[in-house]
Structure 1
């Protein structure tokens, strides 16, 4: 699993506590929700096109945006080589290769363009949804319908697996499944932050 998907163990306990603390910071949370609201159209359109649950996409974006490092989403930081992942969903250029959007042996110019591609928020979301679609095919998950954790335990397991393969930490799937049930995230995607209007969890 580690070699094929790049997964690893859970966060250390201290890091988990830090993550939970960040989630409670209201100004940061409000900023993250605002950014998600801006990405709502592309989340919904790409998820519909690729038959991916948009709440999974929103939950992953929420988590990654909440815990982004200051300044890492700038072209200068991306070009510095200090960061291996880029954009709202924290994706690597390796994912572009897997989706056929970048050659296996890219030139320095192509690598630079790929980093800028991932820094574009809407394109980043497109690649994230494409990643979940690609992994769904690899894992032979149902592609004719949306996976919904509230409908079938097998769907919940499949969604947790997709989340795990995105981030690679054992404690990540549980957090993502909780975010998928968050009324605020439902409200952003489906029209009101107070009352969820869709059962897609």
Structure 2
């Protein structure tokens, strides 16, 4: 009887979580919180929808049911985040210390943003807006190698890219080995490589959607280009509320100043 009581007391002890276990559980909870809602689409009966038939609405982030059906059928996009997740996102955006840290990280990435945007003819503010959002709302600890290699997170690095993007860009075989996957995760964790892959993703999607690849898309140039940028942002994240955030970040004066400002050399001497 005494032995049984001792065992029961052992079962009644409070659960003690190590910091590692707590971190992994937190990552999974945040992933569950951000699961999207169903996509509000309707069956299109007026013929196939293509990028060339996308209509620039009053707001570039407004997609018709036919457009949503096309994008879901071809790219597997989703509806918006849940209202709770959207509230959480807006709350995070109000944290000034976090914003300052995000802008600092973007300043460090500015050379590769400008270089790859110019090389691939993509809008550097689109790249910067996506990076701002993904860095600002990154999950705690996901940049740690042991978390990345655990397989608990499917997207990595500043741009939150997955291994599938390396396959799309021909940097991995269609059926990568375990060694290929481990090397791919290391590549995605490298900030400069990650940004270069993001620029490559935008260039790839532009081409796949039939948009011109000869010059960057500029939202202020025409409603159609604004709609194209919103579409690219949507395809990066896959959630319907994402394009509006990215277009808002692209107009952020602090972000504009960071990307387009140039350091001036000091005067050679003093009188």
TM-score (norm 2): 0.69
Deviation string, structure 1 residues 82-141 (Cα, Å, up to 9, x no partner)? 000000000000000000000111110110000010000000000000000000000011
Q: Secondary structure at the match of 2:138?
A: coil
User: Partners of 1:145 and 1:108 in 2: how far apart?
Assistant: 38
Partner of 2:241: 171
In structure 1, the gaps of 5 or more residues are 193-201
Q: State the alpha-carbon separation in 1 of the partners of residues 79 and 187 from structure 2.
A: 29
Shift in Å at residue 16 of structure 1? 0.8
Equivalent pairs, count: 192
1:141-152 map, 5 Å? 141-152=211-222
* TM-score, normalisation: structure 1: 0.93
Q: CA deviation at 1:3?
A: 5.5
Quick one: which of 16, 34, 45 aligns to 2:86? 16
Does 2:102 match 1:29?
no
Provide the C-alpha distance between the structure 2 equivalents of 1:161 and 1:2, rounded to a whole number of angstroms.
12
In 1, Cα distance between equivalents of 2:216 and 2:204: 15
Aligned partner of 2:125 among 31, 48, 55 = 55
**Alpha-carbon distance in structure 2 between the residues aligned to 1:86 and 1:17:** 23
Query: Which residues of structure 2 form unaligned runs of 5+?
Result: 1-70, 263-271
Structure label with greater radius of gyration: 2
Q: What's 1:102 paired with? A: 172
Provide the residue aligned with 1:6 in structure 2: 76
> Which position in structure 1 is the counterpart of 2:139?
69
CA deviation after TM superposition for structure 1 residue 4, in Å: 3.5
Structure 1 residue 7, shift from structure 2 partner = 1.4
Q: 2:188 & 2:222 partners in 1: Cα distance?
A: 33
